[in-house]
Structure formats: structure tokens, C-alpha cells
């Protein structure tokens, strides 16, 4: 377990975990990007 990213499945699982963790903040991030684009 000292090198968990040797296995591609573990890396994909880690990416999926990050996506699930960032899902609640996705609408806020999109709204912020829209406001920044409108301002600039």
C-alpha cells in the first residue's frame, strides 16, 4: 500500500472520490465563473 497509484483502478477510484466531494460546490463554482465572466 506504499504505492497506491501504481494500480490504475485505484487512481480512477481516487478521481471519482474527488469528483463526488466537489459535486456540492459545483453550482457555486459555476455561478462564480459566470459572475467573473460578466464582470470581466
C-alpha cell at 13: 477510484
Q: What is the mean pLDDT of residues 9-23?
A: 88
Average pLDDT over residues 10-15: 88
Q: Mention every residue, 6+ apart, whose C-beta is less than 8 A from residue 19.
A: none
Query: Would you say 5 and 11 are in contact if contact means Cβ atoms under 8 Å apart?
Result: yes
The pLDDT of residue 17 is 92
Q: Give the residue, 12 or 39, on which the prediction is more confident.
A: 12
For 18, the grid coordinates are 474527488
Residue 8 to residue 15: CA distance in whole angstroms: 11
Contact 10, 4 (CB under 8 A): yes
Amino acid at each position: 500500500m506504499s504505492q497506491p497509484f501504481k494500480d490504475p483502478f485505484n487512481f480512477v477510484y481516487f478521481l471519482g472520490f474527488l469528483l463526488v466531494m466537489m459535486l456540492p460546490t459545483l453550482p457555486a463554482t459555476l455561478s462564480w465563473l459566470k459572475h467573473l465572466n460578466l464582470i470581466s
